[in-house]
Amino acid sequence: MDCLRAFLAKLQNWQRKVNAGNVAMFNNHSTVLDENEDHLLDPSLKTEITQHLKSLESKLKKYFPEFEEEDGKLVGNPFSGTLDIAIIPNDVQDEFLDLKNDSAAKDLYEERSLTVFWCSMYQSYPKVSEIVLRVLLPFSTTYLCESGFSTLLHIKSKSRNRLDVDPDMRCALSVTQPRISRLTERKQCQPSH
């Protein structure tokens, strides 16, 4: 969330700079303007860039809604004294209090990274860990999309550009392992004449 907030602040700063006629943050466009004799940004282009930056900002806010600061405290440091127990769902509060008073878990928290700590706590404290892991792992579904594009690029090349990739992609992206030996057992060899 810190990186996202920083990027949103940069977008707002860029909008302010573009409205003032400064496009130094866009290297290629700045170079073109420097080569131009009048060094002025076209008003219609200024409007278009500003609208694009506003659109990008609204899309980011839509896809990554701001979570409460208290949720961040639970994820960042469950052993903090300033963490309010009331923000945690009622059915998880007892488990959270067990975790908060577990000295072995606190030692593990200090030794390991945040994600490794919460993954290791999943067996002992599943309800609390599930809440935290949902915050820590919001992009798990993008892996499937990325692997799909990667597979498509591998299958469909310049020499195979007219290929219907749907069946091949389905096989390549399937998590089911083919049982080749079982399939071959069911087939009968061609008898000789």
Residues 6+ apart with CB under 8 A from 174: none
Residues 6+ apart with CB under 8 A from 112: 120
Q: Domain residues of the chain, as ranges?
A: 2-63, 69-136
Q: Where does the pLDDT of residue 83 fall: very low under 50, low under 70, confident under 90, or very high at 90 and above?
A: confident
CA-nearest of 103, 141, 95 to 122 is 95
Give residue-wise pLDDT tens across range 167-185: 888 888 888 887 888 888 8
- What is the model's pTM? 0.47
Residue 189: predicted pLDDT: 76
pLDDT at 71 over 70: no
Give residue-wise pLDDT tens across range 32-60: 777 776 667 778 888 888 999 999 988 88
Residue 10: predicted pLDDT: 92
Q: Give mean pLDDT, residues 22-27.
A: 80
User: Residue 187 gets which letter from DSSP?
Assistant: S
